[in-house]
Structure 1
Amino acid sequence: MSPATGEPRSLISPIVDYEPEPLAVPAPCRQPTPAALHRSTPRPLLRAPTTDRAARELPPPRAAAVFADAAVRRVLEVTDRRRPVAALKSLLTPALVDAVTVQAHTPSRGGAAVLRRLRVRTAAQTDGEATAAEVFGTYSRGRRVHALAGRIEVADGRWRMVALQLG
């Protein structure tokens, strides 16, 4: 209550409208003429330059592709608990085996994982032979498609997966 008038004091006060007046709508853009749409290009199209890396890159060895396919399939089977973790010990580094073991203990939703596509690309070479390769591809679980990426390297004369990321 206001002490002078005895009337209840309002806690709400009117707000002054400071919004500017709307601007006039600009004229729409003109439609292009058929001649403008079919005008020839004023400059010739150039080929994209080839990089030296693409020319020097070796195709991955067949053994690397076969190993990558087998390793990724086993990892997916272990994460779905269709295979024991011991099946990975000869294919992955110990730290990677531990990481896959942790992921295998989390419940997966959507059914079993199915490898859809896998590609292998040479990442390092020594004396004309590939010593490391990048692995990337997709797998599906239920109706969802997930990505995967990893790296395999030659150690003691055999391929081993040293990095893996499942999306």
Structure 2
Amino acid sequence: APHPGAARPRGAQVSAAPVLPRAAAMFAESALRRVFEVIDRRRPVAQLQPLLAPPLIDGVIALTRVAHPAAATLRRIRLRPVDSADVTGAEVFGVYSRGGRLRAVAARIELVDDRWRIVALQIG
């Protein structure tokens, strides 16, 4: 790859990778933390309504019925923009711990009515 300061040949096309707004990362982290708090019964399910697409809420409710040995703690997340010139969605990959074990979480967030929302969720 050429050095960032190197001159471009004339007529070369420059395509920048889409950049996610900081708000998307902040939303994803906050929303996933709330999802885990609901699963661990530290928050009411109603707090997820503005954050998750309605079909996902039933899945989270099902997870609250399972006994967990310890509370889940979100360790880190990474976001990757969905292929689009105007970034309106992202794939989210994360790691959380529960009872000394590391586990994975994945989600997709989309900008819906000018608000970020989780539209797909997989908790490992």
- Indicate the TM-score class for this superposition, using the shorter chain for normalisation: 0.7 to 0.9
Out of 12, 27, 30, the position equivalent to 1:67 is 27
- Any conservation in 2 of the 1:124–1:131 contact (CA below 8 Å)? no
Q: Runs of at least 4 residues of structure 1 off by over 2 A? A: none
Task: Give the deviation of 1:142 after TM superposition.
Answer: 1.4
Amino acid corresponding to residue 114 of structure 1 in structure 2: T
Q: How many residues align?
A: 111
* Counterpart for residue 30 of structure 1: none
The aligned amino acid for 1:133 is A
Find the partner of 1:148 among 93, 100, 105. Answer: 105
Residue 137 in 1 paired to residue 97 in 2? no
8 Å CA contact 1:134–1:151 kept in 2: the answer is yes
- Counterparts of 1:129 and 1:85, CA distance in 2: 32
- Structure 2 residue aligned with 1:100, among 43, 60, 76? 60
- Please give the alpha-carbon distance, in whole angstroms, between the structure 1 residues aligned to 2:107 and 2:113: 19
Separation (CA, whole Å) in 1 of partners of 2:78 and 2:107: 10
- 1:129 CA drift (Å): 2.1
TM-score (normalizing by structure 2): 0.84
SS in 1 for 2:82: strand
Question: Which structure: larger Rg?
Answer: 1
SS at match of 2:105: strand
Percent pairwise identity = 53
> How do 1:71-90 and structure 2 match up within 5 A?
71-90=31-50
Q: Provide TM-score, normalisation by structure 1.
A: 0.63
Report 1 or 2 for greater relative contact order, CA contacts < 8 Å, sequence distance ≥ 6. 2
| Distance in 2 between residues matched to 1:137 and 1:64, nearest whole Å | 14
Gaps of 5+ in 1: 1-46, 48-54
Q: For residues 123 and 135 of structure 1, what CA distance do their matches in structure 2 show?
A: 10
Residue 117 (1) aligns with residue 106 (2): no
Is there any run of 5+ residues in structure 2 with no aligned partner, and where?
A: 2-14
1:58 is displaced (CA, Å) by: 1.2
Q: 1:155 corresponds to which letter in structure 2?
A: V
